Structure 1
């Protein structure tokens, strides 16, 4: 019998089942989105459960708990909450793909709200000091303990060195030509402890060597020197030596004898080192987020952590970044490889021996933001892809892939590189304390990297560097970059290279190749890179320096305070609506059919062109402060519609260079108050560039010219001429004109060669050359050394 009640139940059953399913699903979702917090505190124990009341003692124990949760199938958001204090790690923290979060349930490693948490890569040294001699103390360290840096009461000490450390001297806080003199080396009982640090002979970064012994003639032998991809001898003057016991002669110096495990220390007068706390960096890395292209780590967030005291890595910097001037070591206090949607925010990277952050190989949507990065030995933030993703790669300036072997397909071979990543609102200063070929933000073999609102200053080389054209699409905007290239030369606050597939070290060969295959110039630099709305300042180079081959750029709305803007050989650069204070435009050795455009910019000097025969698509419509400079440029066949304007700035003394009065219709003012960091905690402590005093620039007088044997020579007089020729110094005699029947041409000289020695004597100016050729005019042959294509050659001149 079917009752009324049974009918009701049958009708209601589907609804009841549906409601139960919905309720169960809701409960499951609630459980999966409920944050699982794991606590770490210095009062905890690793045998605890990681709750708020029973925290772990170490981040490693918390990481083990996270691994266990993920293995159990947990889908909840997980937070490792670390409480106040310094945690010394004996090995790096590692997050793998198995510990990944998700977009709605990330894995977060963070400091407890409002508390300072430090992860340190240093070991605390518990030492018993006794007096040794002449102000020096000594103590025994544990057997086999080796370290390259030492801190006392949080202050970095100096490894025993010559010359002694002087914070007012650049480069290296002290240098000496006699650092390796035989007289000095003779004093060293064991020279194999020594490290030698020197600039490149052209001051294009630096080198580091370990003394390995002496040869049969008693001269020192070395290992190392791989930190620069443009090999050269050590600079003869800019060098120093450290880790030598006999150089332990000044307060705050130290030396570790690893054979006897004895640490020697020269404290300040009146200081008993038994009252000081010592620590030595041991680990190179504190946190690694390690996945792969096939199995990426996803959705890991690091917030509010202070990373400190990693070990120096300068002797491991050796991997060439294609044909740029850089080599690299893929390591950092935080290293991210094979990751998606991961971020490091609100953290401090302080007193590091190597790089701060290294984003290596495959990465997508990585965010490095709102961080303080200061007092570090190498670079700040690095985005570097795999050379395996590059088609037809070459690895040194002088190397090239033969024409018949060049892969003519556009773009990368794989996805093994950073893309759609961002470095924003970071305060970066006092970097490159050891290594000199570094940058605040370095980009190589990457695509669509956003570099936004960073403040970068007090750096030895570039503030922002792009090492190659692979694969473009970057956005460099709203950065404040100043006090750059402080210890090196021939570089820019922003610097780039583009020695891509089309590029060849022999300019004649490159001209032929690009004429035959004009489409090749954008095979790697596929998407335009924007440089916009930045403030740049460089007193030792250019504010914006696009060097060898840099192609496919859009450069606009930038305020350049000092060094002007340089475009060396490259293609498809469009430059407009920039303000170049006390300087101007520096075109160097342009290609025919470069399609370059320079228009509607404010310039305060005439164009400082070097070896430019072809002027791209447009060099016109620019605004000059001087009628003489405009006239000079018009005589070159450009700037037919250039215009002289009265420069009235809104508030030049305060750095606001917006134009007032009759603003030319082709120019658009842009904001001057949004450069650099905007994060409140960083804005409180950031510095600003010195505002330059406006100068009245005069057109340069013509240089003295030496006419000899159907040739004309002039002195190398500017950094631009030095850079164009690849010279180590602003010295030499430039061959500016050469007649067809000149015996110098028949002997092998060519226009734009630079004579640097003649008859084995140095040539610093054209007057030196004139003096020697007059003196030796009776000779039928003269030997010269020249620079051509940025390399030395010896030529015998038959007269």
Structure 2
């Protein structure tokens, strides 16, 4: 048989095996005569039957348009296994809708990938740069922000800013012309990482919950000009003339903090120094990459993300796109180029940004400035790599959203009665799933988000959240598992910030939304001031139709925040029957004054029948009602049926075993900070690796370097021990070799990460002055347990607080208190609490709390109270 004919027969047989026999019953339902078939080896001149599949999604779409009017059953577009490469989105509009009560179903095989990527091939070693390889950029690839090697995201080349920067009106004056001598300084991007006021950590950005980015426009000599409008949008935000420091946006500062100094710089050839880093030289049209251990570019699948959108559902209010389902598909390798352009990424919160030439002066500022656009807080939302506007009865099930460069999926304005079920979201640059908007247009309604697994995100825009829900109605977010995320897990609502100046929250159409039975853990692993479930603004018109947060299990927060965070203007929210523990600040917070009248009440909120550690007493604080909550000493205190019902339902737990991408070493830890532990010793803290490479992180290693770059100290710690203490102690440092910087690596079963970015330099000093006593001690009592609450000492001596020692008068061993909340509690003056169990009912107990620093244990504060009767 001729080779060409034999190849054609093999391709046909492969297609038939993947698609099934025409007219036969398949695992996804009965095939009908109107079904269409697509294969990467198909032919767009074919008729789309199983023996003669078409090749492109557009051809299948156009054939489907001719058939939908006559539907007497669902029309299934069968996509054979393989990769369908996109340089532009599959555009769907009202013509592509189902009809007569039936759907158009885009059905994959479980190994069907809708890809915006281009293969990078032809790798060669770079002469004079050991270990560095390069390849020609694929034809048509002019820019990208993402590169993947065998399904593992590579890191854009990054490093410390090599010069000292002094901020100017248009950028910076540098201490030398080092940046100007780079090959392409205008490719480079400054990243401004924010965070809590903790130890010796760089605190830049536009609030603890943000990580803005702006590109360099030009570097000439020592003059660095930053790209506009990103620079002005990040530094000129309008402030109230009579309220010093309060921006009219009421979110974060008016300019980049710390004199606008960047935390690090990204995307330059000169920064290629760690395995796993890459750079695209757009001028030379070449890709550069430093392979990780074990990678062979001769055989690796290297994908550069090219398309910015994979599917674009363009419904309108008068002509919605309806009744379409996507099943068994993977959406991957799409990018988002706006942050690389002069617009940059001037973040407000949760991936919303200020955009446009005069965005800083007018965007979303509505009634507060002349020419302000309305409604208040209607800033620019991060786009979705898959998106629908005015989509009705759109369904996603058994899909994967992975290796993406913006938000994964956006069910935007006008979305109605749509579903996302049994789907994985991971390795996404920003928000995982977005629902609705905040721009005053038609709210999303009736969207059901159930039994999905969202984890290992955001990878690039670290202020992103797993699920972002705007102004919506009758939406349900239930039975999802969200874990290992950099900031908040679920964020709902918008526009409550005017309460900061005594104004009521901006009216919005939200009501009857429910967040129930989700399992959320290991969240806020990088940024701060968020929560497991975060809500902001009006949630309804009464307690009856306000938001319901019920039956969720939320535990193990890292950054400063709350389990359930009711932020500015959050009104008519019910928080009931949840299990909340291991939070860094509070289980449920916070109280806000209701400014809709002059009565001085609080925003109506009900906190009822939760299992928690906070221990707040029952009461009605001017509308903030707390009732029936139970102090838990451990998970065994909670009825097993409540724990068992949270997260994925049994039929969907297989998602937890589904691997996406190759297993690899973890991502590097972040935000390394240091503090003196005495002469020749440093305490080190950092944010753990929330992207674990598909295998649990087992340990971390911190390494100290002197000013010449010579390693002078090292200390390893297990992941379990670091979770408990949140710090590592490096001793034996040279007494005269400071200042020292520290980097940290993470390890798992597949290897060790690249080193983190280095800490700020610090010279350890001798310590002798003890800390003062903690303040405001309280015992919040149950019958067999009590929550011990206190605030940090006002004076710490000459070292940072690294722990507390709690003693109980019943003679038990002292309780040694450590953890991230200990480290952030002191500089932020946030209250702390711990639960003491095993108490006897109706018994008086005396508890003492003392702070611990490198100098020793300070004086204790004492509180006495009697437990409740059984």
Counterpart CA distance in 1 for 2:101 and 2:534 is 39
- CA apart distance, 1:277: 3.4
Contact (CA 8 Å) 1:152, 1:276: kept in 2 or not?
A: yes
Match of 1:657 among 637, 644, 667: 637
Instruction: Say whether residues 1:547 and 2:543 are aligned partners.
Output: no
1:371 aligns with 2:423: yes
**Structure 1 residues 594 and 94, CA gap change in structure 2 (3 angstroms):** closer
1:472–1:292 CA distance, 2 compared to 1 (3 A) = same
Counterpart among 551, 576, 598 of residue 533 in structure 1: 551
Distance 1:180 1:492, change over 3 A: farther
1:344-743 matches, cutoff 5 A: 344-385=396-437, 387-389=439-441, 416-468=442-494, 470-498=509-537, 527-537=545-555, 538-540=557-559, 541-563=561-583, 564-569=587-592, 591-592=600-601, 594-598=603-607, 604-605=613-614, 607=616, 615-617=621-623, 622=628, 652=634, 655-658=635-638, 671-678=642-649, 679-684=652-657, 697-700=787-790, 704=794, 731=827
Q: Is the 8 A contact 2:474 2:513 kept in 1?
A: yes
Cα offset, 1:187, TM superposition = 5.4
Take 1:219 and 1:730, find their aligned partners in 2: how far apart are those partners? 37
Unaligned runs of 5+ in 1: 1-32, 165-177, 390-415, 501-520, 574-589, 626-646, 660-668, 707-714, 719-727, 735-799
Q: In 2, distance between residues paired with 1:156 and 1:699? A: 43
| 1:53 maps to 2:79 | no
Q: Report the CA distance between 1:490 and its aligned residue.
A: 1.5
Q: Aligned to 2:35, what secondary structure does the other structure show? A: strand
- 1:83-482 matches, within 5 Å, as 83-102=80-99, 104-112=101-109, 115-135=110-130, 136-141=132-137, 142=139, 145-163=142-160, 185=179, 188-199=182-193, 200-214=205-219, 218-223=223-228, 224=230, 230=252, 231-233=254-256, 239-268=263-292, 273-313=297-337, 315=339, 319=353, 328-329=380-381, 331-385=383-437, 387-389=439-441, 416-468=442-494, 470-482=509-521
Give the drift of 1:206: 1.3
> By how many angstroms is 1:683 displaced?
4.5
Distance 2:643 2:51 in 1: 51
Deviation of 1:331 (Å)? 2.5
- Kept after mapping to 1: 8 A contact 2:177/2:221: no
Give TM-score scaled by structure 1 length: 0.63
Q: What secondary structure, in the 3-state scheme, does the structure 1 residue paired with 2:60 have?
A: helix
Provide the C-alpha distance between the structure 2 equivalents of 1:352 and 1:118, rounded to a whole number of angstroms. Answer: 13
**Does the residue aligned with 1:387 lie in a helix, a strand or coil?**
coil
- Max Rg structure: 1
> Which shifted more, 688-697 or 442-451?
688-697
5+ residue gaps, structure 2, are 1-30, 162-171, 194-204, 235-248, 346-351, 355-362, 366-375, 495-507, 660-693, 698-719, 725-783, 805-823, 831-870
Secondary structure at the aligned position of 2:412 is classed as strand
Deviations 1:359-384 (A, max 9, x none): 11112101011101111101111112
Does structure 2 retain, via aligned residues, the 8 Å contact 1:596–1:616? Answer: no
CA shift in 2, pair 1:327/1:377, >3 Å: farther
Distance of 1:120 and 1:45 partners within structure 2: 19
User: SS in structure 1 opposite 2:533?
Assistant: strand
Q: Contact 2:574–2:607 (CA<8 Å) still a contact in 1?
A: no
Q: What is the rounded CA distance, in whole Å, between the counterparts of 1:265 and 1:618 in structure 2?
A: 55
Q: TM-score, normalised by structure 2?
A: 0.58
2 CA distance for matches of 1:733 and 1:344? 45
Judged with a 3 Å threshold, the aligned counterparts in structure 2 of structure 1 residues 128 and 622 are, in CA distance, closer, same or farther, namely: closer
Q: Would the alpha carbon gap of residues 287 and 532 (structure 1) be closer, same or farther in structure 2, given more than 3 Å must change?
A: same
Q: CA RMSD in A?
A: 4.2
CA distance in 2, matches of 1:620, 1:145: 57
In the comparison of the two structures, how many residue pairs are matched?
Answer: 568
CA distance in 2, matches of 1:79, 1:567: 49
Q: Aligned-pair distance for 1:280?
A: 1.0
